[in-house]
Amino acid sequence: MFTDTYLPVNSECMSMIRCAECHANIPVPAELEARTMKCQYCGATQPVPDLLAREHALLQRKILEQEERERTTRALIDQQDRREAAVERKKSIRWGRITAIFTMLLAPTIIAITVYDLPARLGFGDAGADRVSIVAEQLKGRGCTVLSGSKSEYATGAVTKLLPGAKGCVRVLAAGGPNQHSLTIRIFNGDGKEVGKSASSADPQLEYCTTTEGTLRYEVVPGMLDKGRLTHMALACPAAAAAPAEAPPATTNPKKHK
């Protein structure tokens, strides 16, 4: 900004000076840049009387203009910064939202692990014991006897049980709690050879009949990544009671007679 403060001469109050040659009154040029003045009568040129003041004023004007330019540049930079900050803020809000959504999506899983799994690990909650005992009751009605009592446990992998002195038909029952939906029963003979395998089910059954007495072993295998409580037991059934018509679909009946 250029103000009159720095002007030694101004157009409103134009100073006059006499020509050195003809002594005519000639006006001192108002433009600061003028270093000489020309007489309009005789054409003589002479330096402006206030040359030093003009140079000083010009310098002042240059400084002021420079300051003004710097102010403008700073304002532009500030504006740019503010715009970038706003963009960053928007981005961070967006990320915040995405994070919140992810957290919301993960929350049920986390709750499932920490809240629902913990009681099962501690031995509380449904382990499928009711279903196993109901089926066992039905089988007892047919003359089956308990070979290995019902056992409920927390399992993340296969659980196994020996059945010493098993003879005739052995019926293995298993049932899972809420987190065990795909249990598989496998029976192995005294040589460790698999002699039967059930379909995968929440409450599978598997029967194996043999004429030779020996130690059998059964395994209850949870589904991949399943962890939770399950119940299993084994009954000895008379051969005639085998293959009940109303057995659950999961039952397989590999009647292997040695």
Residue-wise DSSP of 133-156? HHHHHHHHHTT-EEEEEEEEEEES
CA–CA gap between residue 161 and residue 232 (Å, rounded): 9
Using DSSP, state whether 186 is helix, strand or coil. Answer: strand
CA distance 91 to 198: 55
CB of 54 to Zn ion, least distance (A): 21
Q: For residue 19, state whether it binds Zn ion (rule: CB under 5 A).
A: yes
**Residues 26-45, interacting with Zn ion (CB under 5 A):** 39, 41-42, 44
Q: Are 50 and 8 contacting, i.e. CB atoms less than 8 angstroms apart?
A: yes
Q: Across-strand partners of 45? A: 38
C-beta closer to Zn ion: residue 19 or 216: 19
- CB of residue 30 to Zn ion, shortest distance in Å: 19
Q: Can residue 25 be called a binding residue for Zn ion (CB under 5 A)?
A: no
User: Which residue from 10, 21, 122, 212 is in contact with Zn ion, where contact means CB under 5 A?
Assistant: 21
For Zn ion, the binding residues in 63-92 under the rule CB under 5 A are none
Part of the chain binding Zn ion (CB under 5 A), chosen from 13-21, 77-85, 167-175, 185-193: 13-21
Using CB under 5 A as the binding rule, whether residue 22 contacts Zn ion is answered as: yes
Q: What does the block give as tokens for 162?
A: 């020996």
Rank residues 44 and 241 by Cβ distance to Zn ion and give the closer one.
44
- Note whether 235 and 139 are within 8 A (CB): yes
Q: Which chain residues interact with Zn ion by CB under 5 A?
A: 19, 21-22, 24, 39, 41-42, 44
